[in-house]
Every structure is written in structure tokens, then in C-alpha cells.
Amino acid sequence: PFSGPSMQYLPVCLQLQGTPVVLVGGGTVGTRKARLLLRAGANLTVVSPQISPELEGSLAQHGGIWQQSEYAETDLHGKKLVIAATPSREVNQRVHDDAIALSLPVNVVDDPELCTFIFPAIIDRDPIIIAVSSSGQSPVLARLLRRKIEALVPAAYGRLARFAGRMRTLVKEHIPEEGPRRLFWEQTMESTVAEQVMSGREQAAEQQLRERLRDADSLYRGEVYLIGAGPGDPDLMTFKAARLLQRADVVLYDRLVAPKIVEMARKDAERVYVGKRRAEHALPQVEINQLLLDLALQGKRVARLKGGDPFVFGRGGEEIELLARHKVSFQVVPGITAGSGAACYAGIPLTHRDHAQSVRFVAGYLKNDSVDQNWSSFQSTTETLVFYMGLLGLPMICEQLQAHGRSPETPIALVERATLMEQRVLRGTLATMTEIVRREKPTAPTLIIVGDVVRLHEDLAWFGEA
């Protein structure tokens, strides 16, 4: 049986460079449309007794014309596209009727009945343009959807598309058959080549692309993403971290990575726990390094999730050394380090005009019953100290700081399970903190912040406190 058209509008992309277009009306709505038309290179005439200052400026800048008058039918002569955005329904109707009589495509803003074409909501990653339209049924819904897509499509996709455009001929020369060439591009667009382009390293990307073209085997080599997963709250992952995690075939994670974050990996991705609890390493570091390499050489895309930032007490450097030696491509994605997460969620600014002009991240772990630091270098009262891995060493830290001249009154905070629902902040002084911790028995992970900024906690915290 005959079935009617199932699409109310056909989305097409108009080439408007130098094309005469007329816009009737120059208020806010008109200005918005003019902005788009000018960006698309239209030769724009605005017909309106008054126009907004912004529109006047853009017209001057792009060589458009403001015809300061009421609308008349002759304004449409010689034009290829008509848009009406006046506050008067009656004028809009006339523009519409005149355009139809002249067989010109016409859009009356916010009046689908009077449109032969409509403007979709767009996501602009020029040269990539994504258009979202509800066929005039619900512009709000279209805009909501656009916002979602905005968040999904990396801002640098335009750059990536231009890069691919430049490399097209080269790739075509190397891989003449279409099928294999498409496969090559598919893999390349999801590889470190693409990531390099998006972070602005196009030369390195081109070099790597040429290598891939020369060495067919490299296509089947995997790669490793060393991803900073932030301090715990999954919302603190970066877009890039989430994107690469989604791409991984295998995910390696340890205790510091919240289960919610591991869940963000693809359903079919293999998950490997590589542990690391103090004194109970599930896998020694060298074995983790080797595992990363082995998986990549098997052609897998491996995400190595690290708590916080991979390059802050994360041994990230060691994990990629071996990969670099074996020419496995990898990339390191920064994450929000626990110090930063704990500070913000506990309302303790790490620096402050009046209280601290520098901040130092310090390893606070116990080794042979002592915390190995050059204690005399911690005397500045205008420097905030952030101790990682310092729970067991806390009594020693408090003692050594005092022994080397810090006042017993110096404020100190211990943030337990920072940024998670269970976050707890314990506060005291160098003199009292050891006792407080003995009484409250916080559990790892915890972070210690020392300095006058801790006093600000009372005013700035929005989380509960013990």
C-alpha cells in the first residue's frame, strides 16, 4: 500500500557564499539569524526601520547592508532566500506571500506555518556541522538535544576533520582500494593520531599517520591510555577520560578508583583489578608495567585508570617508560588530584591572598618507621602543605614539623575519603591532631592539609564534618 512521506523536512546544507539573502526585521531574533547567515558568507540585506547595535556592527564588519525602511515587495527582487523576523504577524505574512509568489524559499521565524524551510539547532565543529530539528514541533527539545550532543562531541572535532581532509590524497595514494582505506580511517580516527590532532600536535600526528601507512602491522598494535580518574566522585572525570575509557577493550584499575568509574567502561570490556593496598600489592609494579605492554601488543586498547592524576604520586612515569621503549602508542590524561579534590570539597583553599602564596604536595608515607623528608625546609607559614599517603605517618609528621620550628597551634585537617559521599573532615592543630585521629579512626584514603588556610574551612565548607 502507498505510504506518504515519513519525513516532514529534508535536512540539507546550503552553500551561501556571496548569495543575496534578505532579512526583514532587525530585533533580537533577527540578529540571531543574521549572525548565522553572515558566518555562512551570505550577502545579506537587512530591511528594518531600526536594528540592534550588535546587528549594525556585524553588518559593518561583514559588508552586509542595512536598508533603513519599512518592508516593500521590491525588497525581495534579486534575492535567493528570504527570512522574516518582524514583531508584526501581518508584515511577516506579507513577506511570506510575496516570497511564495516569487517562488523564493522563505522562513518566518517562530511561525512554522509560514515557512518553506526551517533553521535547525546546530552544533558547530566547522567543517563538521550537526543539525538538530524537531521539524518545528518543539524547538526547546531540539535545543536540549543539542546541548547533549555538544557535550558528547569534542570541541576539536573540526580540527580533526580538517586534518583528515588534508591527508585524504596521501592516504588514497597508499591504499587505493576503498574497503581497506575505510578501515584505515576508522582505526585512525579512534587512535592516538586523532587525539594528537585534537590537542594541537598536528606534526606529530602526521608523522604517526605516515608510519601507520608504511607499516601495516602497526594497525593491529593496541595502545594504552593512562587515565587520571580523579579522587573518587565520578563527576570529576574529564570528558577526555570518559571518552578514552569508553573506547578501551581492557580496563586496569586499582583500589583508589571508585567502582562507579570502572562501570563507565564498555559493557564488553574486560576489567582487571591490579590492586595496590599499602603492604598488600595485588600486583607488583613491574608486573603491571609488563601487563600493559603485553595487552597492547595483543592489539588491545588498554585503559589504565589511576586515582587522581597519573603524574602525581601515581607512578605514571614508570608505566609508560616500558611502552615507549617498545614503541607502543600511549597517551596520558590528566586528572583532578586528590589534593585539589579534597581542598575544594572540604572548603579549604590551597592558596589564599592573605594566608598562603604557595602549596607543596608531599609524600607522607612511613618507611622504616619514619617519614623521610627534609623537615627543615617546611618552615614557611605562608606555604600550604598537602601530605599524600600520610595516615600512618601522621604522628611523625606533626612531631617533625614542631621539632623544626612550626607552632603547635598550626592548623591541620585530615580529609577522609575526599569527594565521596562518605567524606569526613577532621580538624585540629599540630599539637592535638594525633589524639583526634586515634579517637576518630579515619580509614584510607586520607589526605592531610597543613597551614593557615585550614581555618577557612568553617566558612567555606558545605559538607558535614565530624
User: Cβ(229)–Cβ(191) under 8 Å?
Assistant: no
Cα gap 129→136, rounded to integer Å: 19
Cα gap 341→319, rounded to integer Å: 24
* Residue 373 interacts with ligand SAH (CB under 6 A): yes or no: no
Angle between helices 178-189 and 157-174 (to 10 degrees): 150
User: Cβ(86)–Cβ(92) under 8 Å?
Assistant: yes
The site for ligand SAH, by CB under 6 A, has a size of 22
* Residue 456 interacts with ligand SAH (CB under 6 A): yes or no: no
Residue 79: count other Cβ atoms within 10 Å of its Cβ. 19
Output the smallest distance, CB 440 to ligand SAH, in A.
15
| Burial status of residue 238 (CB atoms within 10 A of its CB: 0-12, 13-18, 19 or more) | middle
Nearer to ligand SAH, 31 or 340 (CB): 340
Output the smallest distance, CB 289 to ligand SAH, in A.
16
User: Cβ(343)–Cβ(349) under 8 Å?
Assistant: yes
Tell me which stretch binds ligand SAH (CB under 6 A): 171-179, 265-273, 304-312, 348-356.
Answer: 304-312
276 counts as catalytic:
yes
* Residue 195 interacts with ligand SAH (CB under 6 A): yes or no: no
Binding characters for ligand SAH, 308-347, by CB under 6 A (x = yes): xx--xxx----------------------xx---x-----
Peptide bond into 127 cis (omega under 30): yes
- Of the residues 233, 254, 300, 309, which is catalytic? 254
Q: What is the CA radius of gyration of the chain?
A: 30
- Of the residues 276, 300, 306, 309, which is catalytic? 276
User: Cβ(222)–Cβ(296) under 8 Å?
Assistant: yes
* Residue 450 interacts with ligand SAH (CB under 6 A): yes or no: no
Report residue 181 as a C-alpha cell. 582505506
Site residues (CB under 6 A) for ligand SAH, limited to 211-250: 231-232
* Residue 446 interacts with ligand SAH (CB under 6 A): yes or no: yes
E strands within 198-355? 223-228, 250-253, 270-273, 301-306, 329-333
User: Cβ(295)–Cβ(302) under 8 Å?
Assistant: yes
User: Cβ(240)–Cβ(156) under 8 Å?
Assistant: no
- Nearest residue to ligand SAH by CB is 308
Nearer to ligand SAH, 232 or 234 (CB): 232
Output the smallest distance, CB 401 to ligand SAH, in A.
17
- Out of 114, 412, 415, 425, the only residue in the binding site for ligand SAH (CB under 6 A) is 415
260 counts as catalytic:
no
Tell me which stretch binds ligand SAH (CB under 6 A): 65-73, 144-152, 290-298, 305-313.
Answer: 305-313
Which residues would be at the binding site for ligand SAH (CB under 6 A)? 231-232, 256, 306-309, 312-314, 337-338, 342, 388-389, 415, 417-419, 445-447
Positions marked active-site: 254, 276
